[in-house]
Structure 1
Amino acid sequence: MKIRQDRLAINPLQWVASADGWIDPSLAPTLQEQLVVIRDAGITALHSAVPGDMPPKDYVERLAEHGISPAPGYIPVRLTEDAAERQTFRDTAARVAAQHAELGVPTVFLAMGMAKDAERVARPAVGHLAEQGRLERVRDLLAEIAGIIRAEGITPAFHPHVGTWAETEPETRFILDTVDASLLGFGPDMGHLAWAGADPAKLVRDYADRVASVHIKDLDLGLAARAREAGWDYRRTVLAGLWSEPGHGNADIDGFVAALPDDFDGWLIIEVDRGARPTPQESVRLCGEWAAEQAGS
């Protein structure tokens, strides 16, 4: 497929990668500072994350001042028996979906969330403690939240993620096979699927009619395999150098992109969870170089 420049976006996680191998949003520079770097890197779309004190209209205008458009954002949810917490997830999903509608972005990624002390964070990417009853509850939760998102006119795209109760290829297939396509789309992250030993391109081909948007990552596949075999935890694997900027690891990005349908009209969102470069700014610049090469090919 031909990659469109206006469908290449970034989620600049390299700014919030913390020293302990996790994510700390407080590390992020101001939106203005991020937009300048992203613009100068030649990237023209940004993962949507509307600040809590900013109306969506103002957010779009702020991005437009730098020639940047909003791209699909992200909604994480977790299994919980706490009624108030579950209602918070419902309310957040409705709010973010409504924001996407106002932004003019028709898709949002929907994933199970993580916590530092989670069992699969301690033993990631291998389907640790897999249990069918729990997986069915995960499926039911995702279907419920997907319905809330659909009510706002937005397509929820299921996003498997290492360290959660929906990380492996069999879990991905179960959820997609048991939730109707009219309710839940697919938003694969090639890096997280590959870390868990899956074949991301095959999953894209098998569920081609449901792929709404995707996350592009590069990684060290050999390190991922060693970490799975040795039982490393999530943060140790990340700190060992799992992630890199696109074109600087050995993941089959070209094969993943080639697996997308010819009429694919979603976003390809570059994510570098932890930059391999000395600074986030340099990491973003390299992401921009890769994006320019793809759009020009």
Structure 2
Amino acid sequence: MTTALDRIRVGSAPDSWGVWFPDDPRQVPWERFLDEVAEAGYAWIELGPYGYLPTDPARLTDEVDRRGLRVSAGTVFTSLHRGPAVWDATWEQVGRVAELTRAMGARHLVVIPSFWRDDRTAEIVEPPELTGEQWAHLTGGMERLGREVRERYGLDIVVHPHADTHIDTEEHVERFLDATDGDLVDLCLDTGHYAYCGGDSVKLIETYGERIGYLHLKQVDPEILADVVANGVPFGPAVQRGVMCEPPKGVPALEPVLTAAQGLGVDLFAIVEQDMYPCEPDRPLPVARRTRRFLRSCGA
């Protein structure tokens, strides 16, 4: 018998509809995303790239309310390892997203570190390993971000380990967690990205459970991943090869992850993110329906 995962709040995101950018002719229109995410059976969504969904709170509230949806989080990209010089530009972006996130009644801001490899061209733009000074900038900057976002907007930041960023592997994730204050900075554990980078999500939840503030659910195809790793394929092209696959066809198995998360005894969002940019416009809805059905079979 499946255990009821009553602490897990399941949702989806524009990413599951192939949306990576605020505006791109290869992406579905935002109205279609909202229609279809509701039709697929999800109650919660993320804002996605700022500017993809309407940024006027009154209009967006009307659009999500009409479809029976609620917003769980906004997302920002940061490069805080570069030091104090980037703070003002970072805060300008964060402020816009945080304001809309708060206005939509959400409580979380997902923070993604900047890529060391260009996601479109695959050009390596920075060394994949940070210096000690850059680590200090990164951890100190995230703590400052967590403090100021909470003070000004009442939101909690959850930092998202991500392929081709400086917070990716188990070693880097643990180093980041050990060097940051758990009262200011929690983690958005993305099961797909963590597996992509060789990490074990269940082990992370069991070891650093008090730092898990949010979940992104996705899986990787082990065969495609093996080829990606062997040939040093960047994340963007790897997604186009189908490295992130529809559950339950990949790894990690999501049921043990959800069970471990339920065991933390706190309410957690678990937002499906099926990376597939770019994709045919008719592809996301059937995948989303099947994924929602699968998660219900796990008790979520």
Contact residue 122 and residue 232 of structure 1 kept, 8 A:
no
1:96 and 2:73 aligned: no
For the residues of structure 2 that align with 1:196 and 1:209, how far apart are their CA atoms? 22
1:179 and 2:180 aligned: yes
**1:46, distance to aligned residue in structure 2 (A):** 0.7
Q: 1:281 aligns with which of 268, 285, 293?
A: 285
**1:207, distance to aligned residue in structure 2 (A):** 1.6
- Per the normalisation by structure 1, the TM-score is 0.84
RMSD of aligned residue pairs (Cα, Å): 3.0
Deviations 1:59-108 (A, max 9, x none): 2231111111111221110144694x531211222332233222221122
What does residue 145 of structure 1 align with? 145
**1:267, distance to aligned residue in structure 2 (A):** 0.5
> SS of the counterpart of 1:213?
strand
What does residue 248 of structure 2 align with? 247
Contact residue 218 and residue 274 of structure 2 kept, 8 A:
yes
Contact residue 129 and residue 166 of structure 2 kept, 8 A:
no
1:143 aligned partner, one-letter code? E
The change in CA–CA distance for 1:201 and 1:237 in structure 2 (over 3 A counts) is: same
2:131 aligned partner, one-letter code? E
What does residue 221 of structure 1 align with? 222
For the residues of structure 1 that align with 2:238 and 2:22, how far apart are their CA atoms? 17
Structure 2: gaps (5+ residues): none
1:34 and 2:1 aligned: no
**1:45, distance to aligned residue in structure 2 (A):** 1.0
What does residue 55 of structure 1 align with? 56
Contact residue 45 and residue 70 of structure 1 kept, 8 A:
yes
For the residues of structure 2 that align with 1:206 and 1:5, how far apart are their CA atoms? 19
1:286 aligned partner, one-letter code? R
Deviations 1:165-199 (A, max 9, x none): 21111111111111111111111101101110011
1:177 aligned partner, one-letter code? D
Contact residue 193 and residue 199 of structure 1 kept, 8 A:
yes
For the residues of structure 1 that align with 2:226 and 2:55, how far apart are their CA atoms? 42
Overall identity of the aligned pairs, in %: 20
What does residue 191 of structure 2 align with? 190
Structure 1: gaps (5+ residues): none
For the residues of structure 1 that align with 2:299 and 2:258, how far apart are their CA atoms? 12
2:99 aligned partner, one-letter code? A
> SS of the counterpart of 1:133?
helix
**1:155, distance to aligned residue in structure 2 (A):** 0.9
Aligned pair count reads 288
1:158 and 2:159 aligned: yes
For the residues of structure 1 that align with 2:132 and 2:7, how far apart are their CA atoms? 41
Which piece of structure 1 moves more, 157-166 or 220-229?
Answer: 220-229
For the residues of structure 1 that align with 2:159 and 2:9, how far apart are their CA atoms? 19
For the residues of structure 1 that align with 2:154 and 2:193, how far apart are their CA atoms? 28
The change in CA–CA distance for 1:255 and 1:131 in structure 2 (over 3 A counts) is: farther
- Per the normalisation by structure 2, the TM-score is 0.83
What does residue 136 of structure 1 align with? 136
What does residue 10 of structure 2 align with? 8
Which piece of structure 1 moves more, 163-172 or 29-38?
Answer: 29-38
For the residues of structure 2 that align with 1:25 and 1:291, how far apart are their CA atoms? 30
> SS of the counterpart of 1:73?
strand
Contact residue 7 and residue 266 of structure 2 kept, 8 A:
no
2:168 aligned partner, one-letter code? E
Deviations 1:6-37 (A, max 9, x none): 811101314336xxxx7674233333211111
For the residues of structure 1 that align with 2:295 and 2:33, how far apart are their CA atoms? 17
> SS of the counterpart of 2:93?
helix
**1:268, distance to aligned residue in structure 2 (A):** 0.3
For the residues of structure 2 that align with 1:130 and 1:242, how far apart are their CA atoms? 26
Deviations 1:231-264 (A, max 9, x none): 2222332232211122132322112112213422
Contact residue 75 and residue 110 of structure 2 kept, 8 A:
yes
> SS of the counterpart of 2:133?
helix
